[in-house]
Amino acid sequence: MASTFNESMFDFDLNFLHPTTPSDGQINKFEKQRKAILIVKKKTIATDSLIKKYYEKKDLLDQTEKSLLTSKEECKQICIDYRKSMETCSKLENDMQILQNVNKGLESKCFQAENQYAAATSLTHQLQMLVKEQETQIESLSIESGLLKSNSKEHEKKISTLLKDNEVLLKHMCLARNIILGKRSLNISPILD
């Protein structure tokens, strides 16, 4: 190939230095060669352009592959994060369900406690009313007791008077018996005592 290139260069230089008038056959030959050279030039330029485009596309492809690899790694990481998030979400949903059940239980207990409180309040009110009634009864009984005490003092005085009278009467009966039985004689002075 080097010899062909050197020969063409040699012919080119000779033709340039020694211009000859071409004949019709040579003109057709030169025209064909010129057209062939133009076609080769165009093809070389087109090939060069295609090679440049190829390398540009290859660089773009390399960058795209790098970007794709990076995206794949990011996608893997996102998938891992997504799985972790789903597991966490699932745990949180389970915890939320448990807490809702506990909340329902606490609401039920709260409702029962409120009912018990209402019942206790009602019972307390009833007991307070009963205590007031009992206090009223105690006051009336204490008043009656006070009256009875004052009456009992009077009754005690009457009873002590009656006991004294009873003793005097008993003495008189004993004296009458002794007199009837003859153990004693009738003295008027002791009777008057």
CB of 175 within 8 A of CB of 160?
no
What is the secondary structure of 181-193 as a DSSP string? HTSS---HHHHH-
Percent of the chain whose predicted confidence (pLDDT) is above 70? 80
Angle value at C-alpha 149, between 145 and 154, nearest 5 degrees: 145
- Residue at token pair 């040699």: 10
* pLDDT value of residue 31: 86
Token pair belonging to 92: 């949180």
Which two tokens mark 185?
């004689």
In angstroms, the CA 152 to CA 145 distance is: 10
Q: Quick: pLDDT tens for 141-193.
A: 778 777 767 777 777 787 888 788 878 888 888 877 777 777 766 555 544 44
Express each pLDDT in 86-103 by its tens digit: 999 999 999 999 999 999
Q: How confident is the model at residue 157, as a pLDDT?
A: 81
- Separation in Å, CA 31 to CA 8, 15, 20, 27, 125: 16, 15, 15, 6, 130
Q: pTM for the complete prediction?
A: 0.39
pLDDT reported for residue 106: 92
